[in-house]
């Protein structure tokens, strides 16, 4: 196509990876909660939105982007702990529909809460001074903040992998996802593990929002579209699969970015077409296990 150069394609690919990094972080939190608790968390996009609002608000209060970035997952994760303990826990064992409907309603409560505190227009966001400008990648200049997004997402994913694969709590989480009854027999309080998992999942959603805030409009409805896209990523990767969430997040980001270059009108549609194609070939998703929930 006229005007499409190799350099432009390379820059668009990196743009897709940066977008995919946000998708991957969101989907990891969603997959973690589903894989361990079998809870389809429809409030996940709202936790993302709350993280974005708090990131901007804390930055306005403190003037320190790094402090704000560290504070957001702590606050949103604590909110997640309260939600699991008070609202979600009484619904365990009642079927998947009950927590689904609860979290669906909770999402709208959080949206209205942000409207009440910050207004329907949202908050203005900007790129931190230290990460403004562009970086020369050799084939073109790319926004420095979006490169930071890729690095930050990789760091969070790496730390989460180390936690799950190399720590005692991670071992308990993996065991509890496969057979919670055996974990109970071993004398471990599974409810505490579920509490921790829900808190970690929501903390990651909040951190995703804080990281994404400088790249998009921060308003109460921002999490609705992201929720649908993060579910696409989760389904493509395989429900409950963390590696699947990472691979699918990057894949969806690249597909969206490349479609935006060649056919912008079909960019949103492209990721749903991708999901349909994957499910036709592998109904359980790329990394999912047939007949295994978690």
Q: What is the pLDDT of residues 100-134, one digit of tens each?
A: 899 999 999 999 999 999 988 888 888 888 898 99
pLDDT value at 2 more than 70? no
Question: Would you say residue 5 lies in a domain?
Answer: no
Q: State how far the Cα of 163 lies from the Cα of 159, in Å rounded to an integer.
A: 6
| 153 secondary structure, DSSP code | H
Question: Would you say residue 15 lies in a domain?
Answer: no
**Which residue reads 């939105």 in tokens?**
49
- pLDDT-derived band of residue 47, with 50, 70 and 90 as boundaries? very high
In the chain, the number of structural domains is 1
Question: Would you say residue 230 lies in a domain?
Answer: no
pLDDT value at 156 more than 90? yes
Question: Would you say residue 241 lies in a domain?
Answer: no
- pTM equals 0.90
**Which residue reads 């004398």 in tokens?**
187
pLDDT value at 251 more than 60? yes
Q: State how far the Cα of 117 lies from the Cα of 241, in Å rounded to an integer.
A: 36
Question: Would you say residue 6 lies in a domain?
Answer: no
Residue 223 burial (C-beta neighbours within 10 Å; 0-12, 13-18, 19+): buried
pLDDT value at 293 more than 60? no
Question: Would you say residue 258 lies in a domain?
Answer: no
pLDDT at 272: 93
Question: Would you say residue 69 lies in a domain?
Answer: yes
Question: Would you say residue 271 lies in a domain?
Answer: no
Domain extent at residue 48? 22-222
Q: Which of 33-37, 176-180, 200-204 has the highest mean pLDDT?
A: 200-204
pLDDT at 292: 46
pLDDT at 179: 67
Q: State how far the Cα of 25 lies from the Cα of 20, in Å rounded to an integer.
A: 9
């Amino acid at each position: 196509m006229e005007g499409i150069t190799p350099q432009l394609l390379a820059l668009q690919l990196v743009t897709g990876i940066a977008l995919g990094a946000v998708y991957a972080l969101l989907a990891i939190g969603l997959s973690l909660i589903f894989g361990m608790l079998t809870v389809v968390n429809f409030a996940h996009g709202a936790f993302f939105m709350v993280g974005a609002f708090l990131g901007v608000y804390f930055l306005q209060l403190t003037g320190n982007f790094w402090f704000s970035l560290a504070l957001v997952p702590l606050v949103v994760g604590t909110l997640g702990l309260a939600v699991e303990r008070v609202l979600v826990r009484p619904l365990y064992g009642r079927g998947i529909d009950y927590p689904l409907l609860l979290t669906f309603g909770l999402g709208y409560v959080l949206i209205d809460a942000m409207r009440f505190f910050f207004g329907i227009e949202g908050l203005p966001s900007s790129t931190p001074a230290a990460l403004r400008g562009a970086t020369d990648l050799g084939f073109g200049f790319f926004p420095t903040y979006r490169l930071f997004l890729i690095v930050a997402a990789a760091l969070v994913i790496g730390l989460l992998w180390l936690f799950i694969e190399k720590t005692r709590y991670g071992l308990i989480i993996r065991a509890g996802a496969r057979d919670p009854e055996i974990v109970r027999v071993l004398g471990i309080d599974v409810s505490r593990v579920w509490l921790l998992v829900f808190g970690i999942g929501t903390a990651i959603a909040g951190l995703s929002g804080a990281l994404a805030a400088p790249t998009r409009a921060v308003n109460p409805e921002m999490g609705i579209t992201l929720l649908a896209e993060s579910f696409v990523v989760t389904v493509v990767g395989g429900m409950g699969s963390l590696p699947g969430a990472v691979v699918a997040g990057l894949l969806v980001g690249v597909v969206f970015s490349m479609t935006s270059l060649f056919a912008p009108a079909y960019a949103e549609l492209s990721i749903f077409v991708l999901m349909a194609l994957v499910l036709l070939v592998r109904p359980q998703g790329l990394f999912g296990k047939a007949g295994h929930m978690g």
